[in-house]
Structure 1
Amino acid sequence: MELALTGKTAVVTGASRGIGLAVVEALADEGVQVLGAARTVTPELAKHAAVTVPADLSTREGATSVVDTALAELGGIDILVNNVGGGDADKMTLGGVLDIGDQQWRQMFDLNLFSAVWTTRAALPSLLDRRGAVVTVSSINSRLPAAGPVGYSEAKAALTAFGKRLSEEYGPRGLRVNTVSPGVVGSSLWRGENGFGAKVAAASGVDHQEFLAAIPQQFGMASPRITEPAEVAALVTFLASEAAGNILGSDFVIDGGTVKTA
């Protein structure tokens, strides 16, 4: 399939690893000039991105600095991929609503919601001028409110709603906005020895690798395996392209059949 992305420009947040890095690689392979932003610029990101920016996207200043750099270095923005999210596993507390303080709520919303709000607002003038595309990476947690650490599902639900609002407001002006909602993905969040998956496994008193192997069955997935970052990246790349020219305001689930509702 011809995606006609050669010569386009893109900003990808949370680009140093996992889904973000896979998106950078996929877009670059299609001829896109990519600016990758992350708190830490990894060698892998530096290898595939045309421009890299170390930034804390959980702050307004960090988010706007990324867009300012993109405008200066790339000359404009055709594609924005709001991917940054998750949370710092070392600072994340597992438990119920009464166990979690205000700081975790704020951190979850700053990273998983407001990072996208700030980045998108800064990039909108260029995106509208170029009749571009926004693809936001949310999560199936937006549909499963009791899943994950407190604050995460709530922030992702708001993030998905933000994409709907953007599409309604700016779709008539030529901007395409869509959301991708992955389930468990084989990134460092789940597979890393210090990631969220390892923390849940330890709290459950099971071996990390055994925990990962059991996820498809425990989560009631139709697929016998979890999703890989490159599979999410392929969907993001398609939605960013003209091949998806009349797809607006949609939320695409890629979760191996975890969510059972239509």
Structure 2
Amino acid sequence: MELNLTGKIAVVTGGSKGIGLATVRTLRAEGAHVVVASRKSSAELDALAGPGLVHVPADLTDSDAPAAVVAHAVEVFGGLDVLVNNAGGPPPGVSLPRFSFLPLTDADWRDMFEFNLFSAVRAIRAAIPVMVERGGGSIVNVSSAVARQPGAMNADYAAAKAALTNLTKALSEEFAPQGVRVNTVSPGPVRTPWWTDEGGAADVLAAAFGTERDAVLERVAPEAMALKTGRLLEPQEVADMIALLASPRSASTTGADVLVDGGFHKAV
């Protein structure tokens, strides 16, 4: 399918690895110019280097950083058509999952919301005026299936993502008449560095369940989360949906929350 993204200007936060990297790769393959915001680059991102790709080193929990990234896109490429708020997950220095609400401090809650909600709020605040001036655009916020199906683990993360999903629908109501579509993609568990890095979710769950990390990735986690596909998702599967929502081919889709979760979410 031709997504009609050639020449479009996109910002992708958290774009050096995982879902963000897959999204950057997909948007570039579709002909978009992409500004990538992340704390540091990666070998995989560097391999995509070219005139249509710019990396901006940024700590998105810095209150000034998201607007600076948007401003850089305008300066380098002349505008902004697509914003993908992908940055999220464990704040720097934090390993998830966490198994109880009670140990979480006010600082833990603030850090989680800064990274998973307020960084997106600030990027959107900067992006919408630029998009409206250009006649419209698409914002895709990467939420999570746990925003709809909370559990005992990671209460702060689920709450932050639920807020992002709610915000998305509110923004879609206000700005659709001005040509700005706002949607969420809500992944289930995805085989990203969050899971696979040393000390990541696979190691945390392996210690909790008394098993090996490979068993967690291949069998234990999919079974525990009742994934009907029987496996963790691949980043590209989420990136494909993000690209479709970013595309003019989704011109009548706004305020949607699209689950890409392997059957994790069970409710209607």
Mean alpha-carbon deviation: is it higher for 103-112 or for 80-89?
Answer: 80-89
State the number of aligned residues. 262
1:70-91: CA deviations, max 9, x gaps? 1111111000000000014743
Mean alpha-carbon deviation: is it higher for 184-193 or for 131-140?
Answer: 184-193
Q: Distance in 2 between matches of 1:195 and 1:119?
A: 27
Q: Does 2:39 align with 1:39?
A: yes
**Residue 86 of structure 1 corresponds to which residue in structure 2?**
89
**Residue 180 of structure 1 corresponds to which residue in structure 2?**
185
**Residue from 24, 40, 59 that aligns with 1:56:** 59
- Counterpart AA for 1:109: F
* Contact 1:100 1:150 (8 Å CA) reproduced: no
Kindly report the root-mean-square deviation, in angstroms, between the aligned alpha carbons of the 2 structures: 1.5
- Counterpart AA for 2:251: G
Q: Distance in 1 between matches of 2:201 and 2:122?
A: 26
TM-score of the pair, normalised by structure 2: 0.93
Matches within 5 A, 1:1-12: 1-12=1-12
Q: Distance in 2 between matches of 1:147 and 1:2?
A: 42
- Counterpart AA for 1:205: G
Query: Alignment partner of 2:182: what SS?
Result: strand
Q: CA deviation at 1:145?
A: 2.2
Q: CA deviation at 1:230?
A: 0.5
1:104-130: CA deviations, max 9, x gaps? 101100000001000110111111122
Matches within 5 A, 1:1-262: 1-48=1-48, 50-88=53-91, 90-92=93-95, 94-130=98-134, 131-214=136-219, 215-262=221-268
Q: Distance in 2 between matches of 1:91 and 1:8?
A: 35
Sort the Cα spacing of 1:148 and 1:161 in 2 relative to 1 into closer, same or farther, 3 A.
Answer: same
Query: Alignment partner of 2:102: what SS?
Result: helix
Sort the Cα spacing of 1:186 and 1:119 in 2 relative to 1 into closer, same or farther, 3 A.
Answer: same
Q: Distance in 2 between matches of 1:134 and 1:164?
A: 11
Write out the 4+ residue segments of structure 1 that deviate beyond 4 Å after TM superposition: none
1:217-256: CA deviations, max 9, x gaps? 2211111222100010010001111111101100000111
Gapped regions of structure 1 (runs ≥ 5): none
* Contact 1:92 1:104 (8 Å CA) reproduced: no
Q: Distance in 1 between matches of 2:168 and 2:141?
A: 7
Q: CA deviation at 1:191?
A: 1.9
Sort the Cα spacing of 1:7 and 1:178 in 2 relative to 1 into closer, same or farther, 3 A.
Answer: same
- Counterpart AA for 2:151: A
Q: Distance in 2 between matches of 1:23 and 1:211?
A: 26
Query: Alignment partner of 1:117: what SS?
Result: helix
Q: CA deviation at 1:58?
A: 1.4
Q: CA deviation at 1:147?
A: 4.9
Q: CA deviation at 1:143?
A: 1.1
* Contact 1:105 1:150 (8 Å CA) reproduced: no
Sort the Cα spacing of 1:167 and 1:100 in 2 relative to 1 into closer, same or farther, 3 A.
Answer: same
Q: CA deviation at 1:205?
A: 2.5
Q: Distance in 2 between matches of 1:91 and 1:185?
A: 18
Q: Distance in 1 between matches of 2:56 and 2:29?
A: 20
TM-score of the pair, normalised by structure 1: 0.95
1:143-169: CA deviations, max 9, x gaps? 122254231000000000110011000
* Contact 1:183 1:254 (8 Å CA) reproduced: yes
Q: Distance in 1 between matches of 2:156 and 2:118?
A: 13
* Contact 1:147 1:153 (8 Å CA) reproduced: no
* Contact 2:100 2:153 (8 Å CA) reproduced: no
Q: CA deviation at 1:206?
A: 1.9
Query: Alignment partner of 2:64: what SS?
Result: helix
* Contact 2:101 2:154 (8 Å CA) reproduced: no
